[in-house]
Amino acid sequence: MKQIMTVKRLFLLFLCVPLFSFAQSVKKLPAIGTIHSIDNSSKILQQSLPAKGKIVFVFYDPGCGHCQELGVSISKEYASFGAAQIFFITMNEKTYVDTYISKYAKGLKDKKNVSFWQDPGVEFMEKFMPSSYPATYVFDAASKNLIKDFQGENDAKKIVPFLR
């Protein structure tokens, strides 16, 4: 059953990504209704967003090489992220996320301002319109305005200047 769900998600991803690659990136933080904590499906992302500071969304796939590199990079540069809230969002199941954390984001596991979330459908793709993995978005929490987005291969050092 899990393999069927994974195949369905991959199919949707390959079907939707070309459609979104011509779209404009989101400019305001949209409402998020179905993305939930990887550890607790009743904990919805929208309810966990801070009212001040910076919000960083990292939309990733645990098996993606560039996503793995970004996890390592953010772990190494964690201190530079200050008080920004970092939300890692994937469409994959918890077992894949746990493996990703243990191999590529070890230093982030117990950080208070870092959390891991699952999109059980395609809400993130529909609302944020990423063009490739990983897709990273930095928002101002108070105004909900997009500060900067990064599509594809990325490094934490490129993100940090937009957190000030």
Residue 136 CB partners (closer than 8 Å, separation 6+): 56, 57, 58, 59, 70, 149, 150, 154, 159
pLDDT tens digits for range 62-107: 999 999 999 999 999 999 999 999 999 999 999 999 999 999 999 9
The least confident of 5-9, 26-30, 38-42 is 5-9
The whole-model pTM stands at 0.85
CA–CA separation, 97 and 93 (whole Å)? 7
Token duo for residue 37: 């904590």
Q: Which of 10-14, 26-30, 53-57 has the lowest mean pLDDT?
A: 10-14
User: What are the two backbone dihedrals, phi and then psi, of residue 123, each rounded to the nearest 5 degrees?
Assistant: -60, -45
Look at residue 37 and give its three-state secondary structure: strand
Q: Which stretch of DSSP H or E encloses residue 36?
A: strand 36-37
Q: Quick one: which H or E segment has residue 75?
A: helix 65-76
